[in-house]
Structure 1
Amino acid sequence: MLTLATSGIRKLYKEEDGLGTLEMILIIAILIAVAIIFKDQIKKIVEGLLKKADKKSNDFMDS
């Protein structure tokens, strides 16, 4: 009875091992899809942040 339970637990552990990899692949795929869909908006946000950082660094250097 104990060996049956032990083998069942080992089997369950082995089956779930590949599940983590699948979840990571799905998360990465969703992030890539979102990045592609909102590419223009992301580009505008990043450009705005870089302009602000450039302005602030120039103000700091001029002071």
Structure 2
Amino acid sequence: MPGKIYPFWAAGDGACPPEDCGGTQEYLAGLDDASSWKALKDLQTMAEILNDVVLENRPEVL
């Protein structure tokens, strides 16, 4: 309607799970997996490989 002010949410980007994640419970489970100790160990392993390949110039590691 002309002249009527409607409320809107200005800062809601990313405030809910994406549509294709399997629902709220699956989304929360995925967040737990992404911040688990296993994920951090994987990240540490990737950092060690990158160190060998890039900083020490050892492409044979791959």
The structure number with the bigger radius of gyration is 1
Q: TM-score, normalised by structure 1?
A: 0.45
Which structure dedicates a bigger proportion of its chain to helix?
1
Q: TM-score, normalised by structure 2?
A: 0.46
